[in-house]
Amino acid sequence: MAGLYDNEKRVHLEEECMMKGHWYRDPDTNLLYIVPNDEFGSAEIIGPDDDIEERLNVYYRNTAMADVDTELVASVLGLEIIPEILFRFDEGAGYYTA
């Protein structure tokens, strides 16, 4: 789940919209889904190209971030909410992890 890259500094850049977004994990596959917070920039949802990502896209496209009920989203899609304290970004590899 790579972020932006700074060619001059040769590091990957953390995106604030991702770090302030909603993070979910599929407990069956351990796959990570990150929904960016559009108040801090624009980006697409990070995650596998699957039915869950499509359903997240549809829901978040039609709902303001402040109005999202993450507990409901997680319950309906069978996901777990990842607490912000576990959000990580590796600037060397350019990956978001939890």
Residue-wise pLDDT tens digits, 5-33: 777 887 777 788 999 999 999 999 999 99
Distance CA 24, CA 4 (A): 21
User: What total number of domains does the chain contain?
Assistant: 1
Instruction: Measure Cα distances from 79 to 12, 69, 72 in Å.
Output: 28, 13, 10
Range of the domain at 66: 4-97
Q: Name 7's Cβ contacts closer than 8 Å, sequence gap at least 6.
A: none
Report the alpha-carbon distance of residue 82 to residue 30 in Å, rounded.
11
Angle among Cα 53, 70, 43 to the nearest 5 degrees reads 45
**pTM of the full structure:** 0.88
**Tens-of-pLDDT digits for all 98 residues of the chain?**
455 777 788 777 778 899 999 999 999 999 999 999 988 887 889 999 999 999 999 999 999 999 999 999 999 999 999 999 999 888 777 788 88
State which H helix or E strand residue 41 sits in.
none
- Tell me the percentage of the chain whose pLDDT exceeds 90: 64
